[in-house]
Structure 1
Amino acid sequence: MSLVTSTEMFKKAAAGGYAIGAFNVNNMEIIQGIVEAAKEEKSPIILQVSAGARKYASPVYLRKLVEAAVEDSGLDIVLHLDHGEDFEICKMCIDDGFTSVMIDGSKYPFEENIALTKKVVEYAHERGVVVEAELGKLAGIEDNIRVSEKDATFTDPDQAAEFVARTGVDSLAVAIGTSHGAYKFKGEPKLDFERLEKITKLIPNTPLVLHGASTVLPEFVELCNRYGGDIPGAQGVPEDMIRQAAKLGVCKVNIDTDLRLAMTAAIRKFLVENPKEFDPRKYLGPARTAIKEMVKHKIRNVLGSSNTL
């Protein structure tokens, strides 16, 4: 088993009408929980590293932890750079052994986004690495990404077709109403599935990616709040909407906020119930288990990728 690209994973996902979870990782316990869940569910997985994770843990630590996960689990795993800001970051990760990178030029005008993405694609493809890009802007806050609602824009289907043709990108993150963070909707959740269908028809051979797709599971929000947290009004993407998106061309679903909530809820609960404990292993163990069970739920009941290996 080894670090692999997402090419074959996405082909199987598209044919099977399911999506692959791309889970953000920041430390050992998070990686262990995700990988244990994937192994038990016999599901492909993508482990992705954001700008915040690179700053917190250092790219080399995270890469080595993911390599250890491959060796320990016997799974093929994609190591993906999430929201690469520029060519230099993408180049560094490609040279450092990542098998997939995202270049996020969505903040630039269309032509600049194309030029930047094409440059990354050319460098990556020469080295056997696949590239994800983004067209449209998601609202919300995640690590160093901050986009207000007024600045968010949905992906234009015709532009998506032109973008893929001119850049040669391997997958495309689209904006259809999801957003980063724990506060995705102020009112009734709604995604633009009609737009998604149009994009899929115009670029049927390009795997689509859904960012900002955590469901913000209410049980974890409630647990956090019960044990001293203050997370009022958090709301994510309903699970049935994720399932529908997977049937309409979405092959990769990014999940980060749900990992954070599961881990934090478990830690808060343990520390309140065991005030004399100060051994990190005692509270990180339950946190790892919470992540594992949450990821198993996602794989089995939301993404539909169980038993596909």
Structure 2
Amino acid sequence: MITLKEILAGTEKGYAIGNFNVHNMEYVQGVVEAAEAAQSPVIIAITERPLKYYGIDYLINTVKAAEKNCSVPLCLHLDHGDNLDIVFKCIEAGFSSVMYDGSHLPIEENIANTKKVVEKAAEYGIYPEAELGKLQGIEDGKESTESALTDPEEAKRFVDETGIAVLAVAVGTAHGFYDGEPKLDFERLKAIREKVEVPLVLHGGSGVPAKSVKKAIDIGISKVNVGTELKVAFNQGIKGVWEENPDEIECTAIMGAAREGIKNKVIEKIDLFRSNL
């Protein structure tokens, strides 16, 4: 597994790396099988909720087992870690990347906490992601009804003062699916790109039209997060098995179909992100 900084190197050439949120072994297998089939690097992301449910060791060892059968670079990433203790535990446990999310805090507190994460991560050769601005929607079981688009000047200050290596920005996307078509603020994204040099991240990538994703990548997005669409693909795979055979009880058949759904969706996203180089 490689670091976030390493896996995003080269994305300025006009592609982005997919950040795919996983929840169990079948998710991990589906993402890794897709990466191998498409010959694309991928970021395997885990949020705090499954970490608390399964435990850090269980999930990190699942990813390490999958890595043995993969010839392309993988990055194991903590997504939306808003608890400093959990962020530090993931760093110590062997995650190759972490994101600290202090976007819900006043900027001064976000900067102070992010600096702590940067300093801790540096001890392990990790280059963290952090977020400035706030997305609406439900992420990891937590709902936010407020949003705050990223201010370009604040983005520059945030990067300069924290030393963060990767910046997640709010430019009109949301967690979960959308009511209608999301309106991305491309001019704001351009302004942020001009102010900061670090790679930029688009959270809330599920349901964003392909044309908007491509334009965001062309402007300078290096990483696109996908979570909700994978949940749908996983559940549709299971539903398809029972629609065909309502009496099916074999777990390998049921979960195998869910894994295949994940794999197909990830391949679709890799093609959209143009990372299958």
Structure 2 vs 1, CA of residues 188 and 42 (structure 1 numbering), >3 Å: closer, same or farther? closer
Alignment-derived partner of residue 123 in structure 1? 120
8 A contact 1:51–1:144 mirrored in 2: no
Q: CA deviation at 1:9?
A: 2.2
**Does the CA-based 8 Å contact 1:21-1:45 persist in structure 2?**
yes
Q: Report deviation, 1:194.
A: 0.4
- In structure 1, the gaps of 5 or more residues are 215-235
1:265 maps to what in 2?
A: 236
Q: For 1:81-120, what aligned pairs fall within 5 Å after superposition?
A: 81-120=78-117
- How far has the Cα of 1:124 moved from its partner? 0.5
8 Å contact kept, 1:22–1:47: yes
In angstroms, what is the RMSD of aligned CA positions?
A: 1.1
Structure 1 residue 86 displacement after superposition: 2.4
After TM superposition, the score normalised by the length of structure 2 is 0.97
Greater shift in the superposed pair: 66-75 or 151-160: 66-75
Distance 1:20 1:286 in 2: 25
* 1:254 aligned residue: 225
TM-fit CA distance, 1:42: 1.0
- 1:11 alignment partner in structure 2: 9
TM-aligned CA deviation for residue 298 of structure 1: 0.8
Residue 56 (structure 1) shift: 2.5
**What is aligned with 2:172?**
177
Give the secondary-structure state (helix, strand or coil) at the position aligned to 2:69.
helix
Equivalent position SS for 2:225: strand
Residues 51-90 of structure 1: per-residue CA shift (max 9 Å, x gap):
1211232211110011111112133211100111122111
* SS of match in other structure, 2:198: coil
TM-score (norm 1): 0.87
In structure 1, what is the equivalent of residue 194 of structure 2?
201
Cα 1:285–1:188 shift into 2, 3 Å: closer
Residue 244 of structure 1 deviates from its aligned partner by: 1.0
Cα displacement (A) at 1:158: 0.3
C-alpha distance 290-144 of structure 1, shift in aligned 2 (>3 A): closer
- 1:191 paired to 2:162: no
How far the C-alpha of 1:270 sits from its partner, in A, is: 1.0
- Give the length in aligned residue pairs: 277
Note if contact 1:26-1:56 (Cα within 8 Å) is conserved in structure 2.
no
Q: CA deviation at 1:213?
A: 0.6
